[in-house]
Structure 1
């Protein structure tokens, strides 16, 4: 008899179920890229059932609406253009903050806009 270990075959394991789609934090952050992913996340399952993703999608849409409204103000000569520049700078900073908070997994409500986004998302 030899002292060498016997080979015992290991049965193959069933493949592990992989997560399909994006994580909640990635989907929430992606909603801020443009208004298009935000609308898609509100229409496509399973994202439209997730309150976190819905909240960030709605907040992104309301940021887009605010940017459009400030763009309309740009038509007014001089004063409108000053308001436009300041308003767009504020919206840009708010957009960056919301994007980073979504990446961290936080449900950060922007002033004014966040309240309406929470109402629409049902949170």
Structure 2
């Protein structure tokens, strides 16, 4: 499989596909970078959503307006994540190592591409 296609596939159903590529890709550093970044981004996004849902439920039980305020941020974060995901797909297909803020440096270290 071409490295740019493998890199793109790391983001298609992250973190599942990125974990699969972590297990099967041993040689290509570009694919390993995108696999690590896709894993970190996917897991991080899921954890942030879970935390926000729990926070919205707790604050909503205390005062409904607080739950509504926190709940307002969930679709905004989803939209930002969607935009970042599209950029990752494009950059991976082009063979670039675009680093997502926060998780990109982690991915580079794990892939050995500093």
TM-score under structure 1 normalisation? Answer: 0.75
| Partner Cα separation in structure 1 for residue 70 and residue 29 of structure 2 | 37
Structure whose CA Rg is larger:
1
Whether 1:79 and 2:59 are equivalent positions in the alignment is no
Number of residue pairs the alignment of both structures matches:
100
1:36 to 16, 38, 42: 16
Deviates more, 1:98-107 or 1:31-40: 31-40
Task: Write 1 or 2 for the structure with the bigger share of helix.
Answer: 2
TM-score under structure 2 normalisation? Answer: 0.81
SS in structure 1 at match of 2:96: coil
| Partner Cα separation in structure 1 for residue 102 and residue 40 of structure 2 | 10
| Partner Cα separation in structure 1 for residue 80 and residue 20 of structure 2 | 26
RMSD: 1.2
SS in structure 2 at match of 1:78: helix
SS in structure 2 at match of 1:49: coil
- List, as ranges, runs of 4+ consecutive aligned residues in structure 1 with deviation greater than 2 Å: none
Structure with more relative contact order (C-alpha pairs < 8 Å, separation 6 or more) = 2
